[in-house]
């Protein structure tokens, strides 16, 4: 099988879009951390804010890893194109395989971060449901 110079170039748009999505996630979480930090300064006794910030710290680290592996994948694609250009087929296959592996690691890390995000949202929703039930119960009991 021969690897042409256009093969690694096919990953460029996918990697670029992934990096854009990762950057958007990073900015959203950074903004949330800043807002929680401001709330914490106003009321440092609220322990749930500290717990949320710890969770967000983990997620921000995952996003940093996602971005690093995406950049590595992009870089390896460029190196692969160089090895193809130089006429080093064995090196080009190895570098392209490493690029794809880096891309896969980035995607798996993204899946882990998305799962953590969903768990955090489930906790928030369950709190809202509990407050709604409590208020509903108070309203019903107050009318009797």
pLDDT for residue 137: 64
Residues ≥6 apart with Cβ < 8 Å to 79: 95
What confidence tens digit (pLDDT) does each residue in 94-115 have? Answer: 999 999 999 999 999 999 999 9
CA dihedral (6, 7, 12, 13) positive or negative: positive
| Eight-state DSSP code of residue 132 | H
Residue 114 falls inside a structural domain: yes
How many domains, the chain? 1
User: Could you tell me the residue range of the domain that residue 48 belongs to?
Assistant: 6-143
Residue 69 falls inside a structural domain: yes
Q: Which residue, among 61, 52, 58, has the nearest Cα to 33 in the 3D structure?
A: 52
Residue 29 falls inside a structural domain: yes
Residue 68 falls inside a structural domain: yes
Residue 80 falls inside a structural domain: yes
Residue 1 falls inside a structural domain: no
* Window from 27-41, 67-81, 114-128 with minimum mean pLDDT: 114-128
How many C-beta atoms surround the C-beta of residue 114 within 10 A?
A: 13
Query: 0.75 exceeded by the pTM?
Result: yes
Residues ≥6 apart with Cβ < 8 Å to 30: 60
Distance CA 139, CA 34 (A): 36
pLDDT for residue 12: 87
Distance CA 23, CA 44 (A): 30
Residue 129 falls inside a structural domain: yes
| Average pLDDT over the chain, rounded to an integer | 87
Ranges of H-type helices in 43-88: 47-86
CA angle 23, 93, 5 (to 5 degrees): 70
Residue entry with tokens 């854009």: 20
pLDDT for residue 54: 85
């Amino acid at each position: 099988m021969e690897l042409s110079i256009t093969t690694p170039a096919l990953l460029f748009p996918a990697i670029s879009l992934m990096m854009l999505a990762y950057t958007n996630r990073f900015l959203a979480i950074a903004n949330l951390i800043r807002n929680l930090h401001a709330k914490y300064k106003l009321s440092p006794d609220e322990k749930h804010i500290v717990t949320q910030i710890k969770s967000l710290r983990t997620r921000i680290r995952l996003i940093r890893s996602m971005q690093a592996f995406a950049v590595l994948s992009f870089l390896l694609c460029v190196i692969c194109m160089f090895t193809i250009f130089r006429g080093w087929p064995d090196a080009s296959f190895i570098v392209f395989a490493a690029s794809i592996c880096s891309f896969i690691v980035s995607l798996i890390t993204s899946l882990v971060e998305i799962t953590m995000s969903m768990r955090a949202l489930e906790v928030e929703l369950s709190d809202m449901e509990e407050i709604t039930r409590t208020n509903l119960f108070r309203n019903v009991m107050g009318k009797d």
